[in-house]
């Protein structure tokens, strides 16, 4: 008799599974039927509607102030990159370059830039309170360097 009880329980479980499956299919078909009678339009935008032609780059050619080490400058740049990343703008950052030591250029041996998808994102980031605080610190700390740098705002043309 114990075997009969197991058989009855198994039959009930299979019936329950089948019933649930059948109801799920009927429900899905009902929803699809209803949606089929509704016109639906989907639009997907990547935010890059001009093939990158709105891309903006800010470039700075400079020499380090005599009272600032390269390491200290890189730490300051890392600080703002962390602010930008923490604010949800991952992928946007300032990058610093310099000529090789063997290069005989006497001026503008350093360069840093930042690339922005467009002016709106540039403004959003520069309006962040933490960015404004960092920028104020940089303008005070690097006043001599900033006064001598070559700065350009350039836009992608191809």
Pairwise CA distance, residues 55 & 34, whole Å: 44
Residues 130 and 84 placed together within one structural domain of the fold:
yes
Are residues 60 and 37 located together in one domain of the fold? Answer: no
Whole domain around residue 26: which residue ranges? Answer: 1-42
Q: What is the per-residue pLDDT for 28?
A: 62
Is a pLDDT exceeding 80 seen at residue 67?
A: yes
Q: Tell me: the pLDDT tens digits for 104-148?
A: 999 999 999 999 999 999 999 999 999 999 999 999 999 999 999
Is the same domain home to 107 and 61?
A: yes
Please tell me the distance from the alpha carbon of residue 99 to that of residue 158, in angstroms, as a whole number: 27
Please indicate, yes or no, whether residues 65 and 142 belong to a single structural domain of this protein.
Answer: yes
Q: What pLDDT digit, counting tens, does each position of 68-79 carry?
A: 999 999 999 999
Q: Give residue 121's pLDDT.
A: 95
Say what the pTM is.
0.65
Q: Is 52 left (phi over 0), alpha (psi -120 to 50) or beta?
A: left
Residues 129 and 62 placed together within one structural domain of the fold: yes
Mark whether 104 and 129 lie in a shared domain.
yes
Classify residue 30: in a domain, yes or no.
Answer: yes
Domains held by the chain: number = 2
| pLDDT computed for residue 90 by the predictor | 87
Same domain, 71 and 125: yes
Report, as an integer, the average pLDDT of 97-106. Answer: 96
Residue with the larger pLDDT of the pair 46 and 25: 25
Residue 26 pLDDT grade (very low, low, confident, very high; cuts 50, 70, 90): confident
Residue 109 belongs to a domain with what CATH number? 3.30.70.100
What span, in angstroms and rounded, lies between the C-alpha atoms of 76 and 63? 15
pLDDT score of 41 more than 50? no
pLDDT for res 45: 43
pLDDT computed for residue 25 by the predictor: 75
pLDDT at 20: 73
Same domain, 149 and 75: yes
3-state SS track over the chain: CHHHHHHHHHHHHHHHHHHHHHHHHHHHHHHHHHHHCCCCCCCCCCCCCCCCCCCEEEEEEECCCCCCCHHHHHHHHHHHHHHHHHCCCCCCCEEEEECCCCCCCCCCCEEEEEEECCHHHHHHHHCCHHHHHHHHHHHHHCHHHHHHCEEEEEECCC
Indicate whether 71 and 143 sit together in one domain: yes
Q: Does residue 150 share a domain with residue 80?
A: yes
For 98-111, b where at least 16 C-beta lie within 10 A, e where not — what string? beeeeeeeeeebbb
Is the residue at 48 inside a domain? no
């Amino acid at each position: 008799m114990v075997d009969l009880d197991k058989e009855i329980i198994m039959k009930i479980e299979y019936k329950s599974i089948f019933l649930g499956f059948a109801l799920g299919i009927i429900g899905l078909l009902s929803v699809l039927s209803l949606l089929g009678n509704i016109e639906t339009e989907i639009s997907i935008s990547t935010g890059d509607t001009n093939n990158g032609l709105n891309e903006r780059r800010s470039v700075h050619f400079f020499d380090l102030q005599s009272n600032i080490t390269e390491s200290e400058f890189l730490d300051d740049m890392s600080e703002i990159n962390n602010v930008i990343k923490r604010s949800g703008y991952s992928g946007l950052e300032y990058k610093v370059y310099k000529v090789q030591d063997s290069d005989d250029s006497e001026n503008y041996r350093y360069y840093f830039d930042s690339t922005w998808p467009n002016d709106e994102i540039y403004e959003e980031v520069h309006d962040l309170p933490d960015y404004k605080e960092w920028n104020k610190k940089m303008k005070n700390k690097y006043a001599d360097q900033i006064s001598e740098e070559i700065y350009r705002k350039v836009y992608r043309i191809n």
